[in-house]
Chains A and B, each alone.
Chain A
Amino acid sequence: MTVQSDVRDAQAPAAREMMLIQAINEALDVALGLDDTVFQLGEDIQDPKGGGFGLHKGLSTKYGLERVRPTPISEQAIMGAAVGAAITGMRPVAEIMLMNFLSVCGDQLINHAAKLRYMSGGQTNVPLTVRTTTGAGGGFGAQHSDMLEASLVHTPGLKVVVPSTPADAKGLLLSSIFDDDPVVFVEMHHLYFAAKGPVPEGDHRVPLGQARIARPGSDVTLISWGKQVHDCLAVAENLAADGIDAEVLDVRSLVPLDLDAILGSVGRTGRAVIVHEAVRRNGFGAELAATISEDLFGQLHAPVRRVAAANTPVPYASSLEAAYLPSRPGIEKTVRDLFG
């Protein structure tokens, strides 16, 4: 008996309970340790502060300022330097402090990072990871809170990842860093300290392009990513009390997208509700709703529905911000209406 349990322990990687922010730090540590071509650059990432949230703590001390490289406030220069290094043999991990600031270096990201592989006929590739953080609900107002994933998905050549759990944050970030294409890795800072869970030790990878069934169910599929996966799980518990068995699908990477998992789940449940934090108009939910409707038209018991933020800039006042964001009651009502 003891022998058996030893064997099982040896197969399952050891895991430690940690917050999502620690999981990201650990992924960066593993990547820097594994491969000399990996280096980090970004504003204020050096010790002793180790970044705005302290996410990088310890890394510049361990790996030195050549590889954990603080930059001036120069988003165009940061992104350009990362692109130039990536096409000539390095695996840069660039931090853009907040997602809204991607618009400051949009030229480098959209015109160059995304397209240099294609424009060169595949002679160069851009193994660049752009880490950035965002999220409404903290009272940061309109210029520090946007979820801009739809515009990234709309640029062929970029991959887009949004983790929701600490284990995924580590595993997806390591896969992104060692991917040969540019990946924008979106961290929702609300989850940095709120999401806790077991994280496998060492070089733990989660492949890009595989959705995760966060909760199995048979009556309706709730499709989401990032922070809203947790909202969907909470709503699913409420619904279960009334006999509605909701499946929650965590998309994890928007590009590449696990369409098989999405269509498979909705094919089984016959109902889909897409939940995201970005504004509703032209959000990624619109793309998913159209694709599900096209592919599963005959099998749906109800129209595909979306729950998303209002089509406004992110407001400041907490009352307005709460009204802006997709809420758990809002998600729940939308799902119940499908069974009306």
Chain B
Amino acid sequence: MTTSPEATAVEGVDGDVLAGIYTTAVKIKLYDEKYRATMRAGKIGGMYYSPRGQEIIPSAISAVLAPEDYVLTIYRGVHDQIAKGVPLRTLTAEFFGRASGSCKGKGGPMHITDPSSGLIVTTGVVGSGMPIGVGVALSAHLRKSGQVTVVNFGDGASNIGAFHEALNLASVWNLPVVFVCQNNRYAEYTTLADGTSVERIADRGAAYSMRSIHVDGNDPEAMYGAARTAIDAARAGDGPTLVEAMTYRFFGHVMGDGMEYMPEEELRAAMEADPVVRMREKLLAAGHRSEAELTRVEDGLRAEIEDAFEYAMSQPMAEPEELTTDVYAEGAIR
């Protein structure tokens, strides 16, 4: 079993595949921009964890996953949710607590579930998704359904006990699960070096005899290659993989974060190397798509996003009668 190899760009990824990854990535970027603008305008409140800068990771993964495969994510998860195909209208309505939201307004941004698109769990508790992802993968294995499970989490989460228990069990049981650590170099306000004893989180896979991949998560070809390797292995019955995808978040931990702990130099360099903008340039340079084609895609996405926000805003809030339904199969119990 290989441990912690550097994933390199896959030569000659199909132009249409790359264009598909770009479409997902720019959809996430535009959605995030709209969300932040709506917050700034004072139209919505609440907590928002921007995934800006991390778009390529789930976009490349979703280019490999099948619709019936499962994805789990965390509070910073809108990029994963969009990439898995959660419909924008009901997703946005859920963010706003509306009755027609994905979860009837009961879950909210940190708890999105949308089984029809395979986005099975979003958790607000750091590190909890890994053990549940093992169970989702176990279920697929027992049902012989052929489904693969992808669990997303941050670098900080790899220091939680549940990470270690989950990786060990997934390895012992050889389950079809891919653990994707989106290493954006910060856990809230703590740097990677201050909170994590290894330089590379991928190295931790070795402790569980697990195939591990360290990859530049902002490089679409490399990320696609890593996703292919891990997901194909899971599908083929070759067990779990730990993928550490290096990235960087542009907007601090949560909206309103002053970002004093992020060196200006570092932040500027990351933003100048904006992976979505870079990908656009590369698609054009390689001749996979024309300027006019990409503009048409982006305009279409903007319209879809506008529609989703308008729809969500116009929807009624969840009715108080809904308070006591869904606690148990029978509703609430005195």
Contacts and interface: CB of A to CB of B under 8 A. Distances in A.
Interface of A: 37, 39, 66-67, 71-72, 74, 76-77, 79-90, 92, 107-108, 111-112, 116-125, 156-157, 159, 179-181, 255-257, 259
B132 A256 contact: no
23 contacts: A39-B142, A66-B142, A74-B168, A77-B162, A77-B165, A79-B131, A80-B130, A80-B162, A82-B135, A84-B131, A84-B133, A84-B138, A84-B139, A87-B120, A119-B107, A120-B115, A120-B326, A121-B102, A123-B103, A123-B113, A156-B327, A179-B329, A255-B333
A130 B334 CA distance: 22
A85 B135 contact: yes
Contacts of A108: 128, 131-132, 162
Interface of B: 70, 101-108, 111, 113-115, 120-121, 123, 125, 128, 130-140, 142-143, 161-162, 165-166, 168-169, 172, 325-330, 332-334
B134 A77 contact: yes
A179 B107 CA distance: 23
B161 A83 contact: no
Contacts of A87: 120-121, 132, 135-136
Residue of A85, A117, A159 most packed against chain B (CB within 10 A)? A85
Contact of A181 (B102, B123, B134, B329): B329
Contacts of A259: 334
A257 B334 contact: yes
B169 to A, nearest CB: 4
Given A39-B142, A80-B162, A88-B70, A107 B128 contact: yes
Contact of B131 (A72, A81, A120): A81
Given A83-B132, A121-B107, A90 B168 contact: no
A83 B135 CA distance: 6
Contact of A159 (B70, B102, B326, B328): B328
A185 to B, nearest CB: 16
Contacts of A39: 142
A193 B166 CA distance: 35
Contacts of A256: 328, 330, 333
A122 B326 contact: yes
Contacts of B123: 111-112
Given A74-B169, A80-B131, A118 B139 contact: no
B103 A120 contact: yes
Contacts of B134: 77, 80-81, 84
A190 B101 CA distance: 49
Contacts of A179: 329
Contacts of B130: 80
A107 B162 contact: yes
B303 to A, nearest CB: 28
A159 B120 CA distance: 23
A194 B139 CA distance: 37
Contacts of A67: 142
Contacts of A120: 103, 106-107, 111, 113, 115, 326
Nearest to A108: B131
A80 B333 contact: no
Nearest to A127: B329
Nearest to A114: B327
Given A118-B326, A120-B107, A123-B103, A81 B169 contact: yes
Contacts of A118: 106, 326-327
B274 to A, nearest CB: 34
Given A74-B168, A118-B326, A181-B328, A84 B106 contact: no
Contact of A72 (B139, B168, B329): B168
Nearest to A110: B125
